[in-house]
């Protein structure tokens, strides 16, 4: 792609680094911004900068939040004895949309994936194990996507907490193998949460 302006080229190259945005789309977006009033670009960039600088991760569940303890963890009507383990904030959003879950979450921040160089120490696993060992948790619900990485992660955590006084379950596999949670519709996802099965039973299918 030949550019008549280095400034334009640089903006397009930056935009094209975003996932799913090719050079052509990046050019279209940048040209769109150029046509809009300058204030719109200022609002756009300041929203991103402010988010990057001020965003926090909840000290209890590691969900993205504007405050130290997120709205879900600080809500007194939620049941802190049931914890749903998810990969990232998109899963929290998907499960919250079902309106079926009244417990708390634990956001791992990814899945164990040796190919991508992600080991257990890079994820929020220790804090989950500590939470369980403290005795305050009655049930752990694994709600990771049913991929090999998801299963590996579930099993890794399960091994560390299986001797604790805690029920471990996994959401029903109404969600097809390999599907990501965030793409499941609310009814399917809500149902798979209600019809969750003991984690040991899911191991027999592995």
Using CB under 5 A as the criterion, which residues of the chain lie in contact with Zn ion when the complex forms? 58, 60-61, 63, 70, 73
Closest CA to 110 of 128, 122, 96: 122
Choice between 63 and 169, CB closer to Zn ion:
63
**CA–CA distance, 104 with 57 (Å, rounded to integer):** 15
Tokens at 97, concatenated: 């949309």
User: How far is 197 from 195, CA to CA, in rounded Å?
Assistant: 6
Please say which residue, 68 or 165, places its beta carbon nearer to Zn ion. 68
| Smaller CB separation from Zn ion, 30 or 104 | 104
**Residue 26 or 85 with smaller CB distance to Zn ion:** 85
Q: How far apart are CA 188 and CA 164, in angstroms?
A: 31
C-alpha angle with apex 194: 189 to 198, nearest 5 degrees? 110
Residue 20 beta carbon to Zn ion: minimum distance, rounded to whole angstroms? 28
When the beta carbons of 41 and 124 are compared against Zn ion, the nearer one is 124
Residue with tokens 């090999």: 148
Minimum distance from CB of 170 to Zn ion (Å)? 22
| Minimum CB distance to Zn ion, residue 86 (Å) | 12
C-beta of 79: minimal distance to Zn ion in Å? 14
User: Three-class SS string for 92-104?
Assistant: HHHHHHHCCCCEE
Least separation in angstroms between CB 66 and Zn ion: 12
Specify whether the CB–CB gap between 83 and 106 falls below 8 A: yes
Question: Residue 74 and residue 97: Cα distance in Å, rounded?
Answer: 18
């Amino acid at each position: 792609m030949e550019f008549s302006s280095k400034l334009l080229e640089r903006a397009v190259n930056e935009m094209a680094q975003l996932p799913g945005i090719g050079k052509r789309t990046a050019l279209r977006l940048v040209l769109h911004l150029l046509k809009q009033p300058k204030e719109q670009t200022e609002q756009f960039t300041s929203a991103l900068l402010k988010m990057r600088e001020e965003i926090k991760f909840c000290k209890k569940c590691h969900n993205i939040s504007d405050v130290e303890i997120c709205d879900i963890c600080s809500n007194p009507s939620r049941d802190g004895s049931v914890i749903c383990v998810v990969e990232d904030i998109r899963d929290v959003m998907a499960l919250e949309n079902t309106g079926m879950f009244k417990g708390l979450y634990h956001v791992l921040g990814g899945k164990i994936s040796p190919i991508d160089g992600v080991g257990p120490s890079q994820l929020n696993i220790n804090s989950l194990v500590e939470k369980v060992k403290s005795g305050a948790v009655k049930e752990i619900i694994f709600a990771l996507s049913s991929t090999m990485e998801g299963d590996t992660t579930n099993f890794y955590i399960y091994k560390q907490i299986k001797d604790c006084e805690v029920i471990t379950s996994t959401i029903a596999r109404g969600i097809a193998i390999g599907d990501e949670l965030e793409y499941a519709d609310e009814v399917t996802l809500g149902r798979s949460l209600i019809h969750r099965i003991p984690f040991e039973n899911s191991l027999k299918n592995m």
